[in-house]
Structure 1
Amino acid sequence: MLEWVEQEQPRSARWRSEAGSAPPRRIQPADDTMTADAAYRLASEGTGLLWRGDFQNARQLLQALARRADRKPRKGAPAGPAEPGEAFHRHRMAQGQRARILSMLLIELAGDYAIALRRAPDLRLACAEAWGPPDGMPSVASLRELLGLVGAHEWRKKGVEIAALGPAPNNRIHAHYGVFSPVRGEYIDLVAQAPLPATTLAFDIGTGTGVLAALLARRGVQRVVATDQDPRALACARDNMARLGLAQRVEVVEADLFPPGRAPLVVCNPPWVPGRASSPIERAVYDEGSRMLRGFLAGLAAHLGPGGEGWLVLSDLAEHLGLRSRGELLEWIEAAGLQVLGRSEARPHHPKASDPDDPLHAARSREVTALWRLGARG
């Protein structure tokens, strides 16, 4: 619960934070009279600014805070570290501090998710999609997170057209809030073009939106078991299978990696970068200690049918960032009793870097995504 005093009256509301951040210890009501410099100073000190002014002015203030957070260091500041891994971790820390400052601009929502501010949009549907049905209890969330809910709602409503699933309109994947949208096409194309073993059964490990499970079914696999342990991903994948008419062929089950049994084909597209995720959506990209990747490799041989193949779809971003070497990956493959049967790769298309100082953007200029075909040794 978030507690504060306003107009000499004690107030409280539920605190909402997808990143799991603790509520600010200090709360100060703020409105259109507050300057951006004053707001930035208070936010940097950890004071939550509970907005009581015009909603659209709050959005403008958030943009002003972002501009101040993005100011370059003064000339003469120490040069950044030379090692890519250290540069990446320092940049992540700086981005985390930036996110904490921007999250200090707060919005109160009524028990039905309505916002009682001038020119406030109706975000009730977007909030219900992300947080579940309202329970009548007022809550407080950062404006930055609320705007993220709006963006996720629009992605979910519109969907992403996946050419490999066939002609429109029956080829769209709709991502729910907190589930990574399949906006990168190269890993989907690699799965669409890889030689498909003769099989009627496949496992899709960590299915997310279910896009690869749907692709395998559209390629002719009669039964696909798709696993995930995130409730939002499970609901999202089931919704997409129903939309695509594949619910009878794709079974979505809750599991940490593998379902029971073996399959002639096991596919996995794990997070690509070893690092701690700061929000649910980042778990599709960041995997601390390469837990999912190593778990998939360690358990693959025990879940492959005789002569079966495991398809590991993996970017080499971690290699360019100095977080994991190609040699380490090959050692893990060998230690798991696996052998490489083949490898195909594709270079993703990235837009021009919005932040040239971000080591991740620099690594993406050399990034290659590969599909590793793996089999059990012996």
Structure 2
Amino acid sequence: MTAADNPQEYIDWSNEGQPATAPWRSANGAPAPKRVVPVDDTITADAAYRLASQGIAMLWHGDFQNARQILTALEHRTRPKPDRTERTTAELFYRYRQNRSHRARILGHLLIPLEGGNIIGLRRAPDVVSATVDAYGSITEASVVSLHEVLGTIGAHQWRTKGIPVAALNASVYPHYGTFFPVRSEYVGLVASAPLAAPKVAFDIGTGTGVLAAVLATRGVPRVVATDIEPRAVASARETVSRLKLTERVEVHLTSLFPDGRADLIVCNPPWIPATAHSLLDAAVYDPGSRMLKGFLAGVLGHLEPRGEVWLVLSDFAELVGLRSRDDLLKEIDAAGLRVIGALEAPAVHARATDTSDPLHAIRRNEVTSLWRLTAREPTT
């Protein structure tokens, strides 16, 4: 379900003794806060943290830059304290996720008004029209949004404006808000270098920005069908295909998993961590119970041409933190009627693998992304 599928929510508060209400907007699918109080420049960071910790959201009526200072102070208060206790990788991951959830909850409780025309109705507010249109669409009535989320839309818009270079394409992609940014080059490089047996049709399942579909097309696949369940991803992928002048080879469909028909090659880079996503943006990484992975494996043979090949691109991060074993993955592949005919591996080269300040640095530096080459298991006699 996308943010647009949710019914409109409203928040209510009291303004100088008079009831007030406004539509709630969240591009990340965050629910509307139940309790809201108006605050201004006189509130202290400690008082703001106490309110947020009690689940009380604060609707800012003061200066925008002062609101940013309060948000920064809240962020400092949510940073994990140094922990010298010896812990297992599973415990480290659990503490990391717990802190991230707490941080998102606290920071999401500082709210600002977003007026018609996508203008922030506060003193000294920046121009966020382009960034917020990307995330929310055009705002026609005064609404309330999370300041933390709005700042995220600004960062995302900067990425979209600048573009993200993709070496395998010798070009940049310009991701829409809410799609997975292809800043992890490992999975793209694997698809760009894996042995390709001249398929006539390829499917790219869960295409995101369309980068893998574009790689397949530039490698000579005459027809690529890319799918995604998220409308923003479909729009982003179509733009990528258009910018790269690949529209004659690549088509993009809004659908869950597979398009109609069969393909000689089916590629999927599913979310790789079987844990709960805390936002729509998390859904490209976190997949509770490995639902997409299992759904893909269970259905792929029904869309694979005889002697066709499946490329499953997956990080082993879940294995490193004890959420899934290698044996579990191989059993899922076998249960789907598939067998492994080869695998390519790429060590982690993304920025977080070298960030020693990351609580999970010791795990991330050992992460390996694999491209599993699969085909239909031969029937036993």
TM-score (norm 1): 0.93
Select the residue among 162, 167, 171 that pairs with 1:163.
167
Q: Which residue of 1 aligns with 2:94?
A: 89
Range with greater deviation from structure 2 (53-62 or 204-213): 53-62
Corresponding position: 1:146 with 2:155: no
Q: Kindly report which structure 2 residues correspond to 1:55-94, keeping only aligned pairs within 5 A, or say none.
A: 55-70=64-79, 72=81, 79=85, 82-94=87-99
TM-score (norm 2): 0.92
Q: Kindly report which structure 2 residues correspond to 1:333-372, keeping only aligned pairs within 5 A, or say none.
A: 333-351=333-351, 352-353=354-355, 355-356=357-358, 358-359=359-360, 361-372=361-372
Contact 1:175 1:236 (8 Å CA) reproduced: yes
Contact 1:339 1:376 (8 Å CA) reproduced: yes
Structure 1 position 34, deviation (Å) = 1.6
Residues 84-118 of structure 1: per-residue CA shift (max 9 Å, x gap): 33442343123212211111111011122211211
- Aligned partner of residue 40 in structure 1, secondary structure: helix
Residues 185-212 of structure 1: per-residue CA shift (max 9 Å, x gap): 1111111111111222111011010000
Q: Which residue of 2 aligns with 1:270?
A: 270
Whole-Å separation in 2 of the counterparts to 1:232 and 1:350:
24
Query: CA 1:22–1:303 in structure 2 vs 1: closer, same or farther (change >3 Å)?
Result: closer
Select the residue among 117, 122, 135 that pairs with 1:117.
122
Whole-Å separation in 2 of the counterparts to 1:22 and 1:340:
42
Structure 1 position 71, deviation (Å) = 5.2
Contact 1:27 1:48 (8 Å CA) reproduced: yes
Whole-Å separation in 2 of the counterparts to 1:73 and 1:369:
30
Question: What amino acid is aligned across from residue 103 of structure 1 in structure 2?
Answer: G
Q: Which residue of 2 aligns with 1:32?
A: 41
Structure 1 position 119, deviation (Å) = 1.2
Contact 1:234 1:253 (8 Å CA) reproduced: yes
Whole-Å separation in 2 of the counterparts to 1:5 and 1:111:
22
Corresponding position: 1:98 with 2:107: no
Whole-Å separation in 1 of the counterparts to 2:177 and 2:268:
21
- Aligned partner of residue 348 in structure 2, secondary structure: coil
Residues 28-57 of structure 1: per-residue CA shift (max 9 Å, x gap): 222222211111111111221111222112
Range with greater deviation from structure 2 (316-325 or 232-241): 232-241
Contact 1:19 1:278 (8 Å CA) reproduced: no
- Aligned partner of residue 144 in structure 2, secondary structure: strand
Range with greater deviation from structure 2 (109-118 or 139-148): 109-118
- Aligned partner of residue 225 in structure 1, secondary structure: strand
Whole-Å separation in 2 of the counterparts to 1:354 and 1:123:
33
Whole-Å separation in 2 of the counterparts to 1:51 and 1:371:
48
Question: What amino acid is aligned across from residue 369 of structure 1 in structure 2?
Answer: T
Q: Which residue of 2 aligns with 1:23?
A: 32
Q: CA RMSD in A?
A: 1.7
Whole-Å separation in 2 of the counterparts to 1:26 and 1:205:
41
Structure 1 position 128, deviation (Å) = 1.3
Residues 295-349 of structure 1: per-residue CA shift (max 9 Å, x gap): 1111222211121110111100000010000000011111111111111101121
Work out the number of aligned pairs and report it.
367
Corresponding position: 1:233 with 2:242: no
Structure 1 position 144, deviation (Å) = 0.3
Contact 1:350 1:364 (8 Å CA) reproduced: no
Whole-Å separation in 2 of the counterparts to 1:15 and 1:149:
16
Structure 1 gaps, min length 5: none
- Aligned partner of residue 181 in structure 1, secondary structure: coil
Structure 2 gaps, min length 5: 1-9
